[in-house]
Amino acid sequence: MNNMAYRGQVLEAAACLRSKLGGFRPKTAVVLGSGLGRVTELLNDPVVIESADIPHWPRSTAPGHAGKVVAGTMGGRPVLVFKGRVHYYEGYGMKEVTFPTRVAGALGVRQYVATNASGGIDGDLNTGSLVLVEDHINYMGDNPLIGPTDPTWNERFPSMTRAYSQRLIGFFEDAAAALHIRVRRGVYIAFSGPSYETPAEIRMARTMGASIVGMSTVPEVIVASAMGMETAVLSCVANRAAGLGTVDEMAEEQVLKAIEDACSGIAALLSAFMERLEREGS
C-alpha cells in the first residue's frame, strides 16, 4: 500500500472515532496487552467502540486481546484505551501493526502508554514482576518506518535516543511508591514470534543487555516516538524466559493466568499514574 492510501485510511479511522466520541478529546492513549482487558473497568463514563465498526482497523487473533476501543476518564484524565493489539506474528505488516498508533497520533493524543506481557531474562525477575521499559532492542527483523516517508508525520531518520520518556517513568515510579508496588527499570527485546525464543537466543539477549523479552510493543514505540508522542511502557513478567524456567510456565493458559493475577495491581498503578499526569496539567 502506498503512503497516500495508508494516510487516507488512518485519517478515515480517526474521523470515525471522533464522530463516535462526540466532544470527548483523549489526551493519553493506553494499549492493554495480553490478559489486561479488565483495566477498562476503572474507566468512568466509558464509551465502548467495537473495532469492527472502525474502518480499516486490524482485527486481533491473539488470545487475551479483545479488539475494542474504550474511551473514558482514568484518574481524572481523558484516555483512549486500545483493548488489545495486533502482532507481527499474526501475519500483519508493520503498517497494520502500528495503525492504531498512527490513529492515536492523528487524534492529537499527547502520550502513548503501552502495557504488555513479557518473559523475564534477569534472574531476579519472577512471575508478576513489573518492569518500566527504559530502552529496547528491536530484534524483529523489520521496522515500521521502512518505505516512503511522510514528513507531515515524522522525519526520515527520527532519533530513538529518548524514545522512552524519563518524565513518565518518574511518574510511574512515584505512583508505585505511593501504592507500595515494586517496579524496576529494564530493557525490552522484541522478537517476531510466534515461537518462543530458544535458550541460546535468551543467553544472547542477556549478553546484549536485555532484561525482558516479548513479541510486541517495539513497533508501536518507534511510531509513537517518531510522531512526537511522549511514550512509556509498563511490562508484566508472565514467565521466566526459555532456559530459565519450566516449559509448563510458558504455556498460553499459564501466561494469561499470571497476567490476570497481576491485573488489579496494574490497574491501580495506571490509575494513579494518570492522576499524577493530569495533576501536572500536561
Q: Are 78 and 124 in contact (CB under 8 A)?
A: no
Q: Are 48 and 68 in contact (CB under 8 A)?
A: yes
Q: Quote the pTM value.
A: 0.94
Residues 6 or more apart from 15 whose CB is under 8 A from it?
none
The CATH architecture of the domain made up of 3-279 is 3-Layer(aba) Sandwich (3.40)
Spell out where 108-210 has E strands: 111-120, 130-139, 183-191
pLDDT, one tens digit for every residue, the chain (282 residues): 677 889 999 999 999 999 999 999 999 999 998 777 778 888 999 999 998 899 999 988 765 546 789 999 999 999 999 988 999 999 999 999 999 999 999 999 999 999 999 999 998 898 899 999 999 999 999 999 998 888 888 889 999 999 999 999 999 999 999 999 999 999 999 999 999 999 999 999 999 999 999 999 999 999 999 999 999 999 999 988 988 866 655 566 777 777 777 788 999 999 999 999 999 878
What cell was used for 128? 508478576
54: closest CA among 41, 71, 37? 71
* Domain ranges within the chain, ordered by starting residue: 3-279
